[in-house]
Chains A and B, each alone.
Chain A
Amino acid sequence: MRTRLLAAVSVTAALAITATACGGSSSGSGSSSKTIKVVYQQQLNNSNKVQANFLAPMVKQFEKDNPGTKVQLVPVTASSNDYYTKLQLMMRSPSTAPDLVYEDTATINSDIASGYLKPLDDYIAKWSDWSQFADASKAAVKSGTDGKTYGVPDNTDTRGIWYNKKIFAKAGIAVPWQPKTWADVLAAAKKIKAADPSITPFNIYTGTAGGEQSTMQGFEMLLYGTKAGGNSLYDSDQKKWVVGSQGFKDALEFIRTVYSEKLGPPVEQALGANIGAAVGTEMIPAGKLAMDIDGSWMPNNWIRNGSKPWAEWESTMATAAMPTQNGQAPGRVSMSGGWAWSVPAKAGNPDLAFKFIEFLETKEASAKWNAENATIAVRKDVATDPAYLKALPTNKFFTELVADTHYRPALPAYTQVSTAIQKAMESVTTGQASVDKAASTYDNDVKTAVGADNTVKGS
């Protein structure tokens, strides 16, 4: 009996190892000098193929222009958190490292600190187009410690409030609408709820399942609008993370109000991993959601080749800037991130990989990409291009928000701080913890993550 069990276990183990080994070699980097592997994220919402549709013809053209080369696209179908994890696991070992990866600027600094990425300074020094890239977006891909550049950004984004003009009109709120304070936003939500209970008045992302979406579109749009402004999460003068601030509690209180007063989607839906897709492709197009704090890319869902083509969006949806807490200067707030192409440190063929970046980010290609993906341009020549500005009626509004936007702290610990924020949001959303309790749990989590001496008490 015992021998048989042992044999069974070893056979299983051997099978498992063989399976992993196969998986490993098949995703290994192109060994031939003419092949590169390019990894990007295919969102879980499978109908969203904007990036795949953009890249496929680019690859064809590139292979035609450079005879003998081969570009292998490797989409990773995953939620953003799982995508980062998968990428990091791939980049750990030379046998699995791709040649080119699509990196969120939120995680790029962690990956730089881990030594996963290759500095691109030698390449961009010889690349004349680099001078066209906006300084803020260059800063987002630069290491805070060694000052080198680790990626070429291909878009940025801003965030604001999307609202449904028809629902607003029916509820008796004058459009165009521009709230001055948080209270104005809540007041509008309450008015809509009173006018038609079958409509969800307001969505703000929350909880751990939504990942960075909850932190950035949700919490930080509030937090950076509190008194401390750009220093409310990380005090860049003292170089310390902020804990114990009233602003943090106020932002949590806002979330608590939305969900406890049932101004938002049902809590179990709000905390599901699928909420992002539901908001963009179901609730808004169906006219079931009145307001949503979300990004400039929302029309992605509704354009002709989007996942939920909806031609009426241009006449139905309008945008407003997110106000600061009490209307204090500068009156509005936005967050920006964006994505960049990076070359892993262990890439087998960095030269060809960079050549492909150059090809993907010419003025024409960038303009096409920013228009198709409904993102904000990072090339100055594209940002002022009338064709780009007219590609979507909302491009002008979201491009102008750049003046009052904030970037997240470009530090390795950010990922953990972000998780701590999501946890705090989730516990007040479910009512599991009071605002004070959730805030103090957050303080402890941050102290554990970065060390207590790297924190400072906020006001």
Chain B
Amino acid sequence: MPLLPSAVLLAVFLAGPIGYCVYYAFTNMQLTGSATTDFVGFDNFTRAFGDPDFLNAVWLTLVFVVGSAIIGQNTLGLALAVMMEKASKPVKAITNAVVIAAWVLPEVVAGYLMYAFFFQQGSLNAILDSLHLPQQNWLYTLPILAACLANVWRGTAFSMMVYSAALNDVPQELIEAAEMDGAGPWQRLWRVTLPVIRRSIMTNLMLVTLQTLSVFGLIYAMTRGGPGNKSQTLPIFMYQQAFQNSLIGYGTAIALVLLLVGALFSTVYIRLLKLEED
């Protein structure tokens, strides 16, 4: 019974808009230029899959998710958590503060900070210059790499916290036993710690993947998807189609594809978790 209000809220505010979204995706609705809205079946989807810009956006989204979430945030978060276990109190406190500061910043603020960091006269190039290393025009030559690094910087705290909690649950006796058997630190990590926390790994992977799939403000503030379409991930592409080209129907269809990609990732992770349990 106490669930009822939440369920009603969810139905109205979450399921409702998604239902509308599904409907719009099958229409040619426009923000301007056309007064009527017709049902066009799968036209928007066939158009998307024949559109090189859309395929480019799908590819960049995958690069972004795999690079910054699955490899970047996840691995770095785990590494930080493992190192923090052994660290002294002050080091722990400082690392925590820095990493979590990046996490609590609003996405757009983080985007502007990262813009200031990466742009041509920005702090990164100033640092490179003082080290006598060649400067790079990060946002222009390799915008997707800059966006990945920014997302790693911003999102690693989350993984670190998940893993810190998980590592606390690894029974100390197991580690000690492995140590007695002569396992080195790498072997202990690989053969004892990781298998024990594997469920947290899956959960974390799923959460960071979903968070990263929907990143918009960060990239928009840094590059607006440019130059050209070199950092145009699906959320940016969707925004541009819907609000710059006024093609609401087409934009919504892309949103739906994004939703499906997210669902696909989640299903894979959940299945992997299930296999574990069986």
Contact = CB atoms under 8 A, between A and B. Distances in A.
B6 interface: yes
B137 A415 contact: no
Interface in A258-299: 267-268, 271, 273
Interface string A7-22: 1011001101100000
Interface stretch (A109-117, A162-170, A389-397): A109-117
A208 B226 contact: yes
Contacts of A6: 3, 6-7, 10
Contact of B32 (A13, A17, A88, A432): A88
A412 B34 contact: yes
A17 B6 CA distance: 14
B274 to A, nearest CB: 17
A89 B13 contact: no
A6 B5 CA distance: 10
B191 interface: no
A325 interface: no
A268 B32 contact: no
B243 A85 contact: yes
B6 A10 contact: yes
Q: Is the interface of A mostly helix, strand, loop or mixed?
A: helix
B224 interface: yes
A27 interface: no
B137 A268 contact: yes
Given A113-B33, A448-B47, A10 B13 contact: yes
Interface string A102-121: 00000100110111100000
- Size range of the chain B interface in the assembly: 20 to 34
Contacts of A448: 47, 51
Interface in B1-36: 2-3, 5-7, 9-10, 13-14, 30-35
Interface in B184-237: 224, 226-228, 230
A85 B35 CA distance: 16
Interface residues of A, number: 41
B3 A3 contact: yes
Interface string A69-113: 000000000000110110011000000000000000001001101
Interface string B32-55: 111100000000000100011000
Given A208-B226, A419-B244, A427-B228, A10 B33 contact: no
Given A6-B6, A85-B244, A415-B246, A113 B224 contact: no
Contacts of B32: 84, 88, 107, 110-111, 113-114, 116, 412, 415
B232 to A, nearest CB: 10
B140 interface: yes
B2 A416 contact: no
A13 B230 contact: no
A14 B226 contact: no
Given A427-B228, A430-B227, A267 B140 contact: yes
Contacts of B245: 415-416, 419
A268 B2 contact: no
A207 interface: yes
Contacts of B3: 3, 6
Interface of B: 2-3, 5-7, 9-10, 13-14, 30-35, 47, 51-52, 120, 137, 139-140, 224, 226-228, 230, 243-247
13 contacts: A6-B7, A13-B14, A16-B13, A82-B243, A85-B243, A85-B244, A267-B227, A268-B227, A415-B245, A416-B246, A426-B226, A430-B228, A432-B228
